[in-house]
Chain A
Amino acid sequence: MSDAVLPDGVERREIDGERRLATRGEPVYGEPTADGWRAWDPERSKLGGMLELGLETGLSGGETVLYLGAASGTTVSHVADFAGPTYAVEFAPRPARDLLDAAAPRDRLFPLLKDARKPETYAHVVEADVDAIVQDVATRGQAEVAVRNAQFLAEDGRLLLAIKARSEDVTADPDAVFEGALDRLREAYEVLETRRLDRYHEDHLGVVATPR
């Protein structure tokens, strides 16, 4: 049923006796593989969780992507496997070292050690009108980061955002945190779909949005 929304290059494959989401590429983090396909673990990846839960991501494969909060490259390596040019922004040096390893065999995955809160520091590198922004930054002001980066997104592009409630305020009710973040988000985006990712990621909200 949710197979319909999978982008080209992402398939459900039989790996280790289980049907799992998978992309084709060099293994990155010791994930199981079969016939050149590498399992995409929805519990280790917000975007993987969103695909597994059947959100309409609008991804069809081959698009240009700006990925904010690439960390060690777990998710962005899968994205680069099915997408076109993929810009991976990560601010912390230690995970960025692993990101470099993940990016090395992927010739259209561009690693950038930059602060996602300061788009002006990479606007001279990341092109305009990308088809999708994938965002998974675990800092305060996640909606603000998405708003500031809206300038990169094409008019009909998609923001695929995972909001972590605890990064905003651990004392508040997650629903209240999500509502506040969505309000801020609506200043630059039209929110198309939201879904709790709790099956894979506790107190996370998956959001699909498009520029207003």
Chain B
Amino acid sequence: MTDTDADAGWFSPLAAEEAGRDATDAARDRIAEDEADRPLDWSRRAVEAGFADSTDEYYDRLKDATTRATREAVRERERADDAQLIHAVRAMDDSERVANELAERAVEWAGSLFDDVDSGIDGAREVAAREPESEVERRAVSLAARAAELDDERAALAETIARVAPAVAPNLAEMAGPELAARLIALAGGLEPLAKKPSGTVQVLGAEDALFAHLSGRAPSPKHGIIYTHEYVRGTRPEDRGSAARALAGKLTLAARADHYAGERRAQLHDDLRERMATIRARADDDGSDAPGAGDE
């Protein structure tokens, strides 16, 4: 009986192959990239499949393969740099914008050809699945398919950002989430420029229009820029949002500095911010219990 794919260990495809110089490279790749639905008794299976003569030899080979795979994966993840992250986040935004534009055009067109066409990307996906019956239908369906593919690309870019950001800036990515971390780095023009900015600047990154309106005397100072998307700001009641944005920006600045200058995770930073946010949010509870007639929620 042969293994099904789901029940294949890292060594399974290798066992049949001739052990050669390439075998160790292949083993490393399989450790790094393969998956399985469930663990099995791999050492016994490896010996049965002839991959190793004994359990001891199996563990020796496993040691070699895991060490190589992990060393190379570490090197690769550490090589990821902020410039790549900036490209990725800008490409993601472009993909999203163009996907929406194309989808809108495609469903508008399709609406004149088919019944029941929904709007947006979802509508475009439905159109893309149709069987066209004329030259014109073929073009509309094809355009919808491009929009759907572009939306897939946006999703793939988001996944890449989620993987790369923690490698480029572990503290910033943990604190802000990978996407916001990437946007802050992109807005600042890199991790180093971000690390060198005062926290008041980080607080309003992405709110340049509002900031210049304020500086020319036309508006109040903005309380927050892109960091508004962070749950600590958005999820805090409006009267405390300024404090929340200031606290978050302060710690994000320290996180960017730790990432740029040290590159190591600083647990204390994250604990400090959580405590600070808990204090700020507790104000709402205090006010709620003091104010007569105010609800608990």
Q: For B70, what are the chain A residues with a Cβ–Cβ distance below 8 Å? A: 96, 99-100, 111-113
Q: How far is the CB of A110 from chain B (nearest CB, A)?
A: 4
Q: How far is the CB of B30 from chain A (nearest CB, A)?
A: 7
Chain B residues within 8 Å of A, Cβ to Cβ:
8-10, 30-32, 34-43, 59-60, 62-63, 66-67, 69-71, 73-74, 77-78, 166-167, 170, 263-265, 267, 271, 274-275, 277-278, 281-282
Q: Which of A41-97 contact B (CB under 8 A)?
A: 85, 92-97
Distance between Cα atoms of A171 and B184 in the complex (Å): 27
Q: How far is the CB of A136 from chain B (nearest CB, A)?
A: 13
Q: Is the CB of B59 within 8 A of A85?
A: yes
Q: Is the CB of B30 within 8 A of A112?
A: no
Q: Is the CB of B39 within 8 A of A123?
A: yes
Given the interface contacts A94-B170, A110-B63, does A100 sit within 8 Å of B37 by beta carbon? Answer: no
Distance between Cα atoms of A85 and B167 in the complex (Å): 29
Q: How far is the CB of A24 from chain B (nearest CB, A)?
A: 19
Contact partner, A108, options B63, B170, B275, B277, Cβ 8 Å: B63
Tell whether A26 is near chain B: CB-to-CB under 8 Å: no
Q: For A95, what are the chain B residues with a Cβ–Cβ distance below 8 Å? A: 265
Q: Number of A residues contacting the other chain (C-beta, 8 Å)?
A: 34
Residue of B nearest to A99 (CB): B70
Q: For B41, what are the chain A residues with a Cβ–Cβ distance below 8 Å? A: 127-129
**21 interchain pairs (CB within 8 A)?**
A92-B170, A94-B78, A94-B265, A100-B67, A100-B70, A100-B74, A113-B32, A113-B73, A119-B39, A123-B36, A123-B37, A123-B39, A127-B39, A152-B39, A166-B271, A166-B274, A170-B271, A170-B277, A171-B274, A171-B277, A171-B282
Q: For A85, what are the chain B residues with a Cβ–Cβ distance below 8 Å? A: 59
Q: Is the CB of A125 within 8 A of B278?
A: no
Given the interface contacts A94-B263, A112-B66, A129-B41, does A124 sit within 8 Å of B271 by beta carbon? Answer: no
Q: 1/0 contact trace for A102-113 toward B, CB 8 Å?
A: 011001111111
Q: Is the CB of A110 within 8 A of B167?
A: no
Given the interface contacts A95-B265, A97-B74, A152-B39, does A107 sit within 8 Å of B63 by beta carbon? Answer: yes
Residue of A nearest to B263 (CB): A94
Contact partner, B267, options A109, A138, A171, Cβ 8 Å: A138
Tell whether A126 is near chain B: CB-to-CB under 8 Å: yes
